[in-house]
Amino acid sequence: MKKSPHRSFLTLIEKTPRELRSIMDLAGRIESDPEAFRTPLAWKTVGLLFEKSSTRTRLSFEAGIRQLGGGSLFLGGDIQLARGETIEDTARVMSAYLDMLVIRTFGHERIEAFSQAAAIPVVNGLTDGHHPCQALSDFYYMEKVFGTLSGLRMTYVGDGNNMARSLAEGAALLGVKLILASPQDYQLPESEVAALNRIAHETGGSVRTLSDPREAARGAQVLYTDVWTSMGQEAESAIREKAFRGYCIDRSLLALADPEAIVMHCLPAYRGKEITAEVIDGPRSRVFEQAAARLPLQKAIMMFCLGREL
Ligand code: CP
Ligand code: NVA
């Protein structure tokens, strides 16, 4: 397990269950009394370097930084990095001006290189490999709904992508029983799943991969999905639409789940593809409450990274 330098937040698996627990507990305290947390980021400046589109991640970080008393600088595609300046030079320079950096980028190795070269904490706002802020926020939200994560039966239907990987890492660390239902060619590598199960063995969780979404959905307390074509994979979208047909959370799949099951989606959603309009806009859907949970959780991650857990 590769540990990131400083107090960065690049993946869930680099953290201990106790660290994840303390971030979620802090998020709970922030959510119940946000005004008690007006100054933890006072005089701190956080850069948001986004090489891909974002609505929820960008806004929840920007609003969160402001509410915690700090300042944020959004850095899109017009910095010298886009013209060939190296990641290492960029990270060293940014470390002189900023206190923390949130990055959304393509290959996960790019954020690792940033984190290695930076003298400040780096937070992963999504890479091709991982989406840890979203996944931890999702577990935080599920715990609020069900009271405990221990033994929770969760089924993810769709691509074995960044979202699936971060959910699988979180499930292993937090004791959740996760089934990932993906077409054969789009599953998380078996070796990764085996390594996660060695951790899950200690926590009471488990990670299983299946290719039949119906078998996976039976009895699930949480049904979760994500897009079939992630950012950066647009050229593959026709092939993917074919491969993922049948991996859609629709009324018949939901009927197999626990009668009290909730439906989650990290968003943005494509109705009629990975989820039907009837389900995402229906009574079992919690997608907007799920999105709202990102604000307190993101605040807690930033306070953790800056060593400001109160
Ligand atoms: N779920 C999520 O990360 O959404 P954005 O891409 O809008 O940030
Ligand atoms: N898997 C999706 C998640 C979007 C929040 C993507 O990477 O585009």
Give DSSP secondary structure letters for 104-152. E-SSHHHHHHHHHH-SS-EEES--SS--HHHHHHHHHHHHHHHS--TT-
Q: Are 72 and 309 in contact (CB under 8 A)?
A: no
Residues forming a β-bridge with 209 = 180
Q: Where are the domains positioned within the chain?
A: 17-130+294-305, 134-292
Q: What pLDDT is stored for residue 1 in this prediction?
A: 47
Write out the E strands in 205-245: 206-210, 222-225
| 266 Cα: distance to centroid of ligand 1 (angstroms) | 7
Q: Is pLDDT above 80 for 300?
A: yes
Q: What pLDDT is stored for residue 77 in this prediction?
A: 81
List Cβ neighbours of 239 (8 Å cut-off, separation of 6 or more). none
Atom 1 in ligand 1: residue holding the nearest Cα: 266
Q: Is residue 230 lining ligand 1, measured as CB closer than 6 Å?
A: no
Average pLDDT on 156-174 reads 98
Q: Is residue 266 lining ligand 2, measured as CB closer than 6 Å?
A: yes
| Upstream peptide bond of 268 is cis (omega within 30 degrees of 0) | yes
Average pLDDT on 240-249 reads 97
Over the chain, what is the mean pLDDT?
97
> What percent of the chain shows pLDDT beyond 90?
96
Fold of 134-292: Rossmann fold (3.40.50)
4 falls in which pLDDT band (50, 70, 90)? low
Which residues are known to be catalytic? 104, 131, 134, 226, 266, 294
Best CA proximity match to 4, nearest among 172, 132, 174, 191: 132
CATH number of 17-130+294-305: 3.40.50.1370
204 falls in which pLDDT band (50, 70, 90)? very high
The CA distances from residue 121 to 40, 51, 52, 124, 303, in Å, are 16, 18, 20, 10, 11
List Cβ neighbours of 257 (8 Å cut-off, separation of 6 or more). 155, 217, 218, 219, 220, 221, 223
Reported as a single tens digit per residue, the pLDDT across 41-99 is: 999 999 999 999 999 999 999 999 999 999 999 999 889 999 999 999 999 999 999 99
Q: How far apart (Å, rounded) are the C-alpha atoms in residues 228 and 64?
A: 29
| 230 Cα: distance to centroid of ligand 2 (angstroms) | 5
| 131 Cα: distance to centroid of ligand 1 (angstroms) | 9
Burial class (CB in 10 A: 0-12, 13-18, 19+), 80: exposed
Best CA proximity match to 213, nearest among 186, 173, 240: 186
Do domains 17-130+294-305 and 134-292 share one topology? The answer is yes
Q: Are 29 and 190 in contact (CB under 8 A)?
A: no
Which ligand 1 atom sits nearest the alpha carbon of residue 291?
A: 1
Q: Are 233 and 106 in contact (CB under 8 A)?
A: no
Q: How far apart (Å, rounded) are the C-alpha atoms in residues 66 and 50?
A: 18
Reported as a single tens digit per residue, the pLDDT across 101-130 is: 999 999 999 999 999 999 999 999 999 999
First CA to last CA distance, the chain? 28
Best CA proximity match to 76, nearest among 98, 96, 104: 104
Q: Is residue 127 lining ligand 1, measured as CB closer than 6 Å?
A: no
Q: Are 99 and 45 in contact (CB under 8 A)?
A: yes
163 falls in which pLDDT band (50, 70, 90)? very high
The CA distances from residue 216 to 99, 117, 157, 177, 197, in Å, are 43, 42, 8, 11, 17
Reported as a single tens digit per residue, the pLDDT across 216-242 is: 999 999 999 999 999 999 999 999 999
pTM, two decimal places: 0.97
Token pair for 256: 């197999």
Q: Are 145 and 286 in contact (CB under 8 A)?
A: yes
Q: What pLDDT is stored for residue 310 in this prediction?
A: 61
Q: Is pLDDT above 70 for 213?
A: yes
Q: What pLDDT is stored for residue 126 in this prediction?
A: 98
Which region among 5-14, 127-136, 147-156 has the lowest average model confidence (pLDDT)?
5-14
